[in-house]
Chain A
Amino acid sequence: MPISNYIIFCLTLFTIGIIGVLVRRNAIIVFMCIELMLNAVNLLLVAFSKMHNGVAYLSDKSSIVGAEAQVFVFFIMVVAAAEVSVGLAIIVMMYRNTHSVDINFLNRLKN
């Protein structure tokens, strides 16, 4: 599969995530769109790692060139779990205080 197919597919997903962050005002949907963008980047990293591995695979079938990228993706997923747990806790507390998840409430941080 040409790598440009993967790049364009991941760019499409990433752009949909950006549009979601711009357009929606529900904080939970905005957060979900950020997860979507993270996933698009993860898939692109894996595709690039397989691209580099494919070159090395021709000469050495047990080559581990590109395995670092997949470890990076693993770390991204794991850190995303920690980020989501704290972020959702913040959204829940925001809802407790303002009874809304509209992100436009957040620009009045003062009182």
Chain B
Amino acid sequence: MNLIQIIFWFLSSFAVISAIMVLVSKSPVHSVLWLIAVFFAISGHYILLNAQFLAIVNLIVYAGAIMVLFLFVIMMMNLNKDTDPQKNIWIKLAGAVSGGCLLMVLVSLVKQATEINGKEAMLGKGDIGLIGTLGKVLFTDFVVPFEISSVLFLSAMVGAVVIGKKDSKLENN
């Protein structure tokens, strides 16, 4: 077992344990913190795959911006105490069992698939994950999706302002 394999198994087990803790945590704030741990582990996986740009974007966008927004909402609603209503234990069990069955079916499919036999994901080298290469591809082949995403952001901005602003006006009256 060399260093890369040790890092892979460490990051994978850390991510899975943190993801389970997201579900198990009673307090939503703890769930957010565990989800940030998952994102850090996934960023570690990106670095292992030498997708350096995506690793940094994952940290900036997900762990830095989106999760802060989640924390902000939880603080705003004062949800830090447990407000999840106590649900029937059988429904929880049914959810876990059906999810486990899905995982079992999918894993057995992966085990049976012959197309992926002997295929390896290249670790630690290769230039496609670097920001220069991705920038060239983005600005030659993906110019139209690039512009469409800016339109999407415009609509998200307008939507957020319309939804958020209307309510505060009603409150003032």
Contact = CB atoms under 8 A, between A and B. Distances in A.
Q: Do chains A and B touch in the complex (CB under 8 A)?
A: yes
A8 to B, nearest CB: 6
Interface residues of B, number: 83
Contact of B92 (A23, A39, A70, A78): A23
The 9 A-B pairs with the shortest beta carbon distances in the complex, nearest first, are A54-B122, A19-B99, A22-B95, A82-B156, A23-B95, A15-B103, A67-B128, A89-B163, A16-B19
B62 A39 contact: yes
A36 to B, nearest CB: 6
Nearest to B135: A71
Nearest to B57: A77
B23 A2 contact: no
24 contacts: A2-B119, A3-B121, A12-B16, A16-B99, A19-B95, A20-B22, A23-B96, A24-B84, A25-B87, A33-B23, A35-B66, A39-B42, A49-B51, A50-B51, A54-B120, A64-B127, A64-B133, A67-B134, A67-B137, A80-B66, A81-B61, A85-B156, A92-B163, A101-B77
Given A25-B85, A26-B83, A50 B126 contact: yes
Contacts of B69: 84-85, 88
A62 interface: yes
Contact of A50 (B50, B138, B152): B50
Contacts of B106: 11, 15
Interface string A82-97: 1111101111110110
A18 B77 CA distance: 25
A32 B70 contact: yes
Interface string A47-88: 111110110010001111111101101110111111111101
Contacts of B164: 89, 92-93
Interface of A: 1-9, 11-13, 15-20, 22-26, 28-29, 31-33, 35-36, 39, 42-43, 46-51, 53-54, 57, 61-68, 70-71, 73-75, 77-86, 88-93, 95-96, 100-102
**Majority secondary structure, B binding face:** helix
B116 interface: yes
A50 B123 contact: yes
Contact of A32 (B35, B123, B128): B35
A67 to B, nearest CB: 4
Contacts of A65: 128
B137 A18 contact: no
A7 B116 contact: yes
Contacts of A36: 19, 22, 35, 38
Contacts of B5: 1
Contacts of B98: 22
